[in-house]
């Protein structure tokens, strides 16, 4: 199998970590969980304060030849927002990668974000804005890059179907091992960052879609997040045309 590089662009509370957990079960895949935030910005400081050299160092690490034929990287897009308007932006992302975007219905993702307690920094609603999804999709599309957009709701409702099609679109085999995993070890990053990863840490597979919680989210209102919700809904509607169909 030729080397395959997958970049999963995400936003907080988009269910990207459970998607990553699925790929962690593959022996042929090397995974990276939010490497820029974890390694270069551990205090969750302003993204603009991350030196350009850190982006380049990370890129070099990710593009190193490895014994694993598949490299899977999950990173929040807001980390890169400083560089989206940079003429040399493509120097900061992996070339010849499958660029995947996972997007969750705004009412659900923003509500989930608002519930996170004891986070290392105060809430920053702008972190869950997804307008830069459209910006990057357009940039990658003009560059001829391969783009796949995953609807997080569909991932929970039909994880097997979504993964079978996703793997086929990436040119890699689907493996049944991707569907289940063991609970996270006590010293794992999922435990040490339990405010954000607690549910994933205790999971052993894809969490079943909860219709009741979805209904509650649909009716949720919070004036603090009204602007974020309105702006995200516009982007979500625009990107729906990219959602794959499943037979």
The 3-state DSSP composition of the chain as helix, strand, coil percent (nearest 5) reads: 55, 15, 35
Residue 146 CB partners (closer than 8 Å, separation 6+): 97, 98, 99
> At 5, phi and psi to the nearest 5?
-110, 125
Residue 44 CB partners (closer than 8 Å, separation 6+): 37, 120, 121
pLDDT of residue 91: 66
Question: What pTM was estimated for this model as a whole?
Answer: 0.90
Instruction: HSE, CB side, 13 Å, CA atoms: give it for residue 225.
Output: 23
Return the closest-CA partner of residue 175 out of 36, 1, 45: 1
Per-residue pLDDT of the chain (247 residues; tens, 9 = 90+): 568 999 999 998 999 999 999 999 999 999 999 887 776 655 555 455 666 777 777 777 777 767 899 999 998 888 777 667 666 666 667 668 899 999 999 999 999 988 875 555 666 766 788 998 998 898 888 888 899 999 999 999 999 999 999 999 999 999 999 999 999 999 888 888 877 888 898 999 998 999 999 999 999 998 888 999 999 999 999 999 999 988 7
Domain ranges, ordered by start, for the chain:
4-242
When the candidates are 3.30.830.10, 3.90.700.10, 3.40.50.300, 1.10.10.10, the CATH number that belongs to 4-242 is 3.40.50.300
3-state SS of 7-55 is EEEECCCCCHHHHHHHHHCCCCEEEEECHHHHHHCCCCCCHHHCCHHHH
In the sheet that holds 29-33, the strands lie side by side as 29-33, 70-76, 4-10, 97-103, 146-151
Question: 108 to each of 63, 79, 86, how far by Cα in Å?
Answer: 34, 21, 32
């Amino acid at each position: 199998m030729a080397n395959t590089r997958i970049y999963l662009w995400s936003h907080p509370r988009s269910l990207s970590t459970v998607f990553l957990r699925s790929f962690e079960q593959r022996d042929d895949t090397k995974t990276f969980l939010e490497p820029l935030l974890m390694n270069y910005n551990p205090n969750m400081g302003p993204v603009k304060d991350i030196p350009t050299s850190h982006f380049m160092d990370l890129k070099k690490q990710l593009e190193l030849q490895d014994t694993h034929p598949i490299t899977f990287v999950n990173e929040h897009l807001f980390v890169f927002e400083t560089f989206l308007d940079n003429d040399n932006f493509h120097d900061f992302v992996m070339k010849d990668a499958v660029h995947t975007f996972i997007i969750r219905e705004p009412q659900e993702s923003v509500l989930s974000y608002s519930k996170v307690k004891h986070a290392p920094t105060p809430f920053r609603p702008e972190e869950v804005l997804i307008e830069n999804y459209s910006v990057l999709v357009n940039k990658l599309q003009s560059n001829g890059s391969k783009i796949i957009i995953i609807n997080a709701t569909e991932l929970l409702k039909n994880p097997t179907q979504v993964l079978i099609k996703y793997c086929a679109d990436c040119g890699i085999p689907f493996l049944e091992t991707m569907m289940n995993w063991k609970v996270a070890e006590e010293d794992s990053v999922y435990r040490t960052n339990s405010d954000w990863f607690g549910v994933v840490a205790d999971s052993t597979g894809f969490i079943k879609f909860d219709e009741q919680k979805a209904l509650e989210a649909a009716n949720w209102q919070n004036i603090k997040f009204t602007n974020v919700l309105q702006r995200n809904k516009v982007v979500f509607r625009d990107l729906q045309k990219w959602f794959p169909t499943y037979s």
